[in-house]
Amino acid sequence: MDVLSLEGRVALITGAGRGIGAATACLFARAGAQVALLEKDGTGVTRVAEAIGVKGGEALPFTVDITDAFQVERVVDGIVKEWGGVDVLVNNAGIVRDATVEDVDDDDWADTLDVNLRGALVCTRAVVPHMVARGSGRILSAASVVARNGNYGQTAYAASKAGIIGMTRTWARELGPKGITANAVAPGFIDTEMVKSVPEKVATRIVESTAAKRMGRAEEVANVYLFLASDLASFMNGAVVGVDGGMLL
């Protein structure tokens, strides 16, 4: 088996209907994985699953609210029944509700932490028993450069992503002895729909503050997820891997 092959493995990816999630799903499928695609809006995951199928890959789309534990558990049980287990979980789904601290709305705060932080917990909690039964697994979660550096107007988002880092390191300690690793990826500003609403002046300033002098591409983050899911990363546990073009230098 090629070291970057995911042949024979089952991957569950949240937020897989667009952006980084879609790029990761397509890359994992090309690497041989059977991929389950989860998103609240079923249109995107259906489109991605069809594109994967056209190229000979195996993908199942699921319309699911990852904050609903019952829905998630039912989907995971279905994946296990269909494909025999879950080897890789990518907690990619996330939302942004920008506001400076004095204007943070309670509902926006709750929604951001519910999707970004609790959603990752719900999905991880659902797959871990199946990984434990196999004695192996990879849990990969989307943190962010802002969890380390902060960002103007993103109190809720930064808090949720900092929480991802804390949970990842806790899971690494708890699950490592059971053959399961947990790592996080911390993207910088990636050219996806999530950042298209950023004002042009702000986007220009971001690019200027990045050593690479550009925004990243979704595929560049997906490449790191593939590495972490592969046998090459077998001794990486509790790591936070920056994919930010040198934004923190």
Q: CB of 61 within 8 A of CB of 42?
A: yes
Q: CB of 6 within 8 A of CB of 84?
A: no
Report the alpha-carbon distance of residue 43 to residue 46 in Å, rounded.
5
- Positive or negative torsion for Cα 7, 235, 178, 70: negative
**Going by C-beta distance under 8 Å and a sequence separation of 6 or more, which residues neighbour residue 209?**
247
CA geometry: angle 123, 125, 127, nearest 5 deg = 70
Question: Does the active-site annotation cover 152?
Answer: no
What does the block give as tokens for 166? 């804390």
Note the helical H segments in 2-154.
19-30, 42-54, 69-83, 106-113, 119-134, 145-149
**Going by C-beta distance under 8 Å and a sequence separation of 6 or more, which residues neighbour residue 110?**
none
What does the block give as tokens for 79? 């994946």
Question: Which residue out of 28, 157, 171, 189 is catalytically annotated?
Answer: 157
Report the alpha-carbon distance of residue 176 to residue 24 in Å, rounded.
24
Instruction: Please state, in angstroms and as integers, the Cα–Cα distance from residue 140 to each residue in 1, 32, 62, 175, 221, following that order.
Output: 22, 18, 19, 13, 12
Active-site residues, by number, are 157
